[in-house]
């Protein structure tokens, strides 16, 4: 049932003829209350889908921004259970915006795949992205998610060649996440021109919408990506707003800064509409 929320959202956006703006946040960053406020404010700020990162102590594919965000969240006491609680509270108020959890395998494995999948579905989670669980290792997790109607969303990268593509596509649902640069999050800039061709290739191979992320920091870049992809994902640039606010000592308007950045990005994505309805 929950997978449907992702499908419905992408179908509605396709009907509007525009791409989705996907906002990423680290659950619990910089504190539990502010983080909940950010999550609940994102749909009104224009986020069509939300990726909620559950923090991990050793996030090996993240650049400095999300590493620091994860550390702030862990320090504030965030856990995988805490992340599920945040989503459940959000879901009580918003039944339409898809929520994708994103993170690393160990906390999920630690909880047990079946228990995690059941709890995630009950909390209103629609999909899961696990950075360090490639297709070769993900069957047990996919079984548990399938049984609970939670989408397993796989990452495809510039190094995913034609030989690997079928393995990456197998058991993927909801959408495909194209990592547009070989690198960690938020460091290299995505080249929108170089993204168009792989997006088409992935769309053709999967029949699923293709989201592009890792390296979109500005509204201009988000708009460029939104012209060729089905969704533009922004993470580090939003997390940086938290760091910036904390640095400026303005703890009270962290939420406003993040949401205003999200609005600007959402506006850019919405105005980039190029595809026909």
Partner 1 sequence: MNAPAKPNDWSAHPDERGRFGDFGGRYVPETLMPLVLELGQAYAAAKADPAYQAELTAFHKDYTGRPSPLYLAERLTEHFGGARIWFKRDELNHTGSHKINNALGQILLAMRMGKTRIIAETGAGQHGVATATVCARFGLPCVVYMGALDVERQKPNVFRMNLLGAEVRPVTSGTGTLKDAMNEAMRDWVTNVADTYYLIGTAAGPHPYPAMVRDFQSVIGTEARAQILEAEGRLPDALVACIGGGSNAIGLFHPFLADESVRLIGVEAAGHGIETGMHAASLTGGRPGVLHGNKTYLLQDDDGQIIDAHSISAGLDYPGIGPEHSFLHESGRAQYLSATDDEALAAFKLCAELEGIIPALEPAHALARVGDLARDLGKDGIIVMNMCGRGDKDIFTVAEALGRKL
Which helix (H) or strand (E) segment is 268 a member of? helix 254-270
Using CB under 8 A, which residues numbered 24 to 63 contact partner 1? 56-63
Q: With contacts defined by CB under 8 A, name the span among 7-15, 149-157, 250-258, 261-269 that binds partner 1.
A: 149-157
Identify which of residues 124 and 186 has a Cβ nearer to partner 1 in the complex.
186
Kindly state whether residue 131 participates in binding partner 1, applying the rule CB under 8 A.
yes
Interface with partner 1 (CB under 8 A), residue from 13, 133, 234, 238:
133
Cα 240–chain centre separation: 16
**Spatial distance between the Cα atoms of 147 and 107, rounded to a whole number of angstroms:** 20
Q: E strands within 104-201?
A: 127-130, 151-152, 155-156, 176-179
**Spatial distance between the Cα atoms of 35 and 75, rounded to a whole number of angstroms:** 13
Kindly state whether residue 67 participates in binding partner 1, applying the rule CB under 8 A.
yes
**Spatial distance between the Cα atoms of 127 and 8, rounded to a whole number of angstroms:** 13
Instruction: Strand 176-179: give its sheet, edge to edge.
Output: 151-152, 127-130, 99-103, 49-53, 20-26, 231-234, 210-213, 176-179, 155-156
Closest approach of partner 1 to the CB of residue 104, in Å: 8
Kindly state whether residue 198 participates in binding partner 1, applying the rule CB under 8 A.
no
Closest approach of partner 1 to the CB of residue 17, in Å: 30
Using CB under 8 A as the binding criterion, the count of chain residues that bind partner 1 stands at: 45
Residues in contact with partner 1 by the rule CB under 8 A: 56-64, 67, 71, 74, 79-81, 104-111, 131-134, 136-137, 154-161, 164, 168, 179, 182-184, 187-188
């Amino acid at each position: 049932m929950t997978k449907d929320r992702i499908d419905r959202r992408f179908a509605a956006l396709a009907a509007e003829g525009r791409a989705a703006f996907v906002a990423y946040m680290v659950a619990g960053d910089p504190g539990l209350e502010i983080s909940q406020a950010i999550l609940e404010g994102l749909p009104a700020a224009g986020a069509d889908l939300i990726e909620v990162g559950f923090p991990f102590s050793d996030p090996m594919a993240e650049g400095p921004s999300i590493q620091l965000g994860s550390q702030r969240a862990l320090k504030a006491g965030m856990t995988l259970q805490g992340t599920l609680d945040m989503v459940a509270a959000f879901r009580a108020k918003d039944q339409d915006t898809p929520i994708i959890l994103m993170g690393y395998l160990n906390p999920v494995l630690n909880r047990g795949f079946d228990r995690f999948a059941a709890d995630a579905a009950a909390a209103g989670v629609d999909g899961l992205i696990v950075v360090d669980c490639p297709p070769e290792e993900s069957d047990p997790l996919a079984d548990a998610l399938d049984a609970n109607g939670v989408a397993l969303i796989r990452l495809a990268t510039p190094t995913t060649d034609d030989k690997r593509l079928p393995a990456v596509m197998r058991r993927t649902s909801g959408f495909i996440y194209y990592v547009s640069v070989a690198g960690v999050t938020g460091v290299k800039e995505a080249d929108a021109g170089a993204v168009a061709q792989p997006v088409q290739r992935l769309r053709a191979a999967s029949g699923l919408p293709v989201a592009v992320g890792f390296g979109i920091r500005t509204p201009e870049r988000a708009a460029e990506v939104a012209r060729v992809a089905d969704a533009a994902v922004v993470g580090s640039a939003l997390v940086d707003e938290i760091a910036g606010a904390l640095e400026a000592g303005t703890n009270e308007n962290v939420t406003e800064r993040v949401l205003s950045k999200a609005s600007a990005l959402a506006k850019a994505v919405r105005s980039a509409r190029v595809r026909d309805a």
